Amino acid sequence: MLLADRLLPEGERRDMSGRKSVVKRLAVVSLGFGLTLGLASALVPVSTAMAQPPPIKINEFSSYESSGDWLELYNPSAEEVNLNGWTLSDSNSTFKTLSATDVIPAGGWLQVSANNRLNREGDSIILKDSNGGEVDRVVYGGSTGNAPVPGQGKSCGRCPNGSDTDADSADFRIFDIPSPGAMNICDTDGDGVPDHLDNCPGVYNPDQADVDGDGIGDVCDQTPPVPVTATVALMGVGLVGFGGFVALRRRKIARTR
């Protein structure tokens, strides 16, 4: 005979290590024979890992513009990112809260006004997501390990775009021609050819020589073209190839009557 149907309370529980579990409510049925059927409770582990924020980068900034300070955010991911609720701060406090209209397309850039809060001689720029987690930080001026200070009419930006080795002095350089909201035009080797067009961006090669046409400059190509050697025999003329050159060898032909 069924005597009782007892329900255990639901809710979250944490063990001694702090791991969170969920108590699922299960019925415990008591029988008149002194027997009990069912389980008292079930602890189901729940993952508490939080999704990582998109890797948005502070890609370029100008702290010395008469028309107003600005900075540029870069989205290197393959998905569009909405920055609603994200914030930007300097070394003192928050100067900008982004809205739902602040969206960066995949592989795109977004220019943001810094509200004249960036110190000309040196400062920090800190980007946080809507949960208050720090996403990126740049420190410029004041130390040789920091990013350089851009002067009047110039900007400071990452080169290559989005590069982040956690060493601001290595990741950032001065640009004579700022490019807010667009790709930073880098020329790492100083050969006059922008990196995104250079067939060997790390080595000086202004001529862009590429003998085998594989898109890799000869000075960077690890597999240079191999000279072709061939021998072709023709009627009355011998063609002998060697070392990539062709020599003609005359052959006398006997005439018969």
Res 121: pLDDT: 92
pLDDT tens readout for residues 161-188? 999 999 999 999 999 999 999 999 888 8
Examine the domain organization and report whether 61 and 171 are in the same domain.
Answer: yes
Res 189: pLDDT: 84
Mean pLDDT, to the nearest integer, of 201-230?
A: 81
Q: What share of the chain is helix, strand, coil (3-state, %, to 5)?
A: 0, 35, 65
Residue 250 lies in a domain: no
pLDDT band at 225 (very low <50, low <70, confident <90, very high): low
Domain that holds residue 108: 57-175
Res 42: pLDDT: 46
DSSP annotation of 170 reads H
What average pLDDT does the structure give for the chain?
A: 79
Examine the domain organization and report whether 125 and 104 are in the same domain.
Answer: yes
Tokens coding 182: 């667009």
Mean pLDDT, to the nearest integer, of 227-255?
A: 53
Higher pLDDT, 106 or 253: 106
pLDDT tens readout for residues 115-124? 999 999 999 9
Does residue 203 surpass a pLDDT of 50?
Answer: yes
Examine the domain organization and report whether 63 and 164 are in the same domain.
Answer: yes
Res 108: pLDDT: 97
Res 235: pLDDT: 53
Is cis: bond before 160, omega within 30 of 0?
yes
Examine the domain organization and report whether 110 and 138 are in the same domain.
Answer: yes
Higher pLDDT, 152 or 252: 152
The separation between the first and the last C-alpha atoms of the chain, rounded to the nearest angstrom, is 129
**Domain holding 130: CATH number?**
2.60.40
Residue 128 lies in a domain: yes
Q: Which of 36-45, 99-108, 117-126 has the lowest mean pLDDT?
A: 36-45
pLDDT tens readout for residues 43-86? 444 445 556 778 999 999 999 887 889 999 999 999 999 999 99
Examine the domain organization and report whether 165 and 92 are in the same domain.
Answer: yes
Examine the domain organization and report whether 151 and 83 are in the same domain.
Answer: yes
Residue 77 lies in a domain: yes
Dist. CA 42–CA 20, nearest whole Å: 13
DSSP annotation of 169 reads H
- Report pTM: 0.63
DSSP SS3 for 168? helix
Residue among 89, 72, 149, 97 nearest 124 (CA): 89
Res 31: pLDDT: 44
Residue 200 lies in a domain: no
Examine the domain organization and report whether 78 and 160 are in the same domain.
Answer: yes
